[in-house]
A and B are shown apart, each in its own frame.
Chain A
Amino acid sequence: MTRVHDRGGWPGAGPINRAEHELSWWEKRTDALMRLMWTPERRVIRVDEMRRAIESMEPGQYEKASYYERWLHALETLLIEKGVLTREEIELKVKELDKR
């Protein structure tokens, strides 16, 4: 079984792009929300669950996604899986905020 996240020695890897970008506000908040979900007081999500959710992405999607796109995918997936939020709620809220 090939796992898309298991990259050590992955064939065809090219030069390393060393350009760096300052994290944008949504990226920092995605990071922050995830960390808040795994604080000992909350334990809504465990870091192992986050990794599992990222690894479960469809391989093409995993490779295409940026780092925090993967985190956000995992955040949504796990909050829905745990019954904290529903898919519908999120979509509705996205639309609601869009109108403002």
Chain B
Amino acid sequence: MHDDHHDDPHAPLAHDHPQTEFEKRVDAVQALLIEKGIITPDDVRRAVEEMDSRSPALGAKVIARAWVDPAFKGRLLANAKRAIAELGIEFTQEAALFAVENTEKVHHVVVCTLCSCYPRGLLGYPPDWYKSLNYRSRVVVDPRGVLKEFGLELDANVEVRVLDSTADMRYLVIPPRPAGTERMDEEELASLVTRDSMIGVARARTPALQ
């Protein structure tokens, strides 16, 4: 969408379509904050770029490393921020970061029922459904029903463990490594790791489905 504006923070006012009320208001707030010297146009550009640089590819890289390197996985589970720093990823959010592992016995799924807390530093902006009232309402009371909607049916002997992130603790799910991936390298493995599998509403892709 309006990517052409990215290079032009000095003039967020050139619009090629009728502006909505909200566009006008954010333009006004931004202009005033700049006039008052609280921020610069460059700050805005960099802040947008910072989030644009965050995407599930970062999380996928972390998961792939955890799959091939059990010692790294151990460090990730023990201190996630420090472990991802080994891969050159700085988790700039002020919140703490925790990794939890999905196995054949335990399946974690993450939600924030009160707002939309999300490990943005590793996964980027949260998807619309994660922020939706229906997901926030239902996944705590009927996690299996919600997972089924996402196409994931779990056996009754699996413990479904819902994580409601109510404090400034962010949770990253390590999905199980799919079968048949023994010969794959880290990069190929990372391509199997979906955003949804790191939230816990899906499994990682299997190679056959690629």
Indicate whether A and B are direct neighbours in the complex (CB within 8 Å): yes
> A79's closest neighbor in chain B, by CB?
B29
Identify which of B59-67, B77-85, B135-143 touches chain A: B135-143
Q: Is B115 an interface residue (CB 8 A)?
A: yes
Q: Is A58 an interface residue (CB 8 A)?
A: no
Q: Which of A7, A36, A93, A100 contacts B32 (CB 8 A)?
A: A93
A28 to B178, alpha carbons, bound, how many Å? 35
Q: Is A14 an interface residue (CB 8 A)?
A: yes
A20 to B138, alpha carbons, bound, how many Å? 19
- Contact at B133–A97, with CB atoms within 8 Å? no
Q: What is the CB-to-nearest-CB distance from B40 to chain A, in angstroms, rounded to a whole number?
A: 10
Q: Is B181 an interface residue (CB 8 A)?
A: no
With most chain A CB atoms within 10 A of its CB, the pick from B26, B31, B32, B127 is B26
Give the number of residue pairs across the A-B interface with Cβ within 8 Å.
149
Q: Is A16 an interface residue (CB 8 A)?
A: yes
- Contact at A13–B134, with CB atoms within 8 Å? yes
- Give the size range of A's interface with the partner: 35 or more
A residues adjacent to B (C-beta < 8 A): 5-10, 13-26, 28-33, 35-36, 42, 44, 47, 51, 54, 63, 67-69, 72, 75-76, 79, 84-85, 89-90, 93-94, 97-98, 100
B residues adjacent to A (C-beta < 8 A): 1-3, 5-6, 12-13, 19-20, 22-33, 36, 38-39, 43-44, 47-48, 50-52, 94, 113-116, 125, 127-129, 131-138, 140-141, 146, 149-150, 164, 168
Nearest 3 A/B pairs, CB to CB: A13-B137, A32-B47, A8-B113
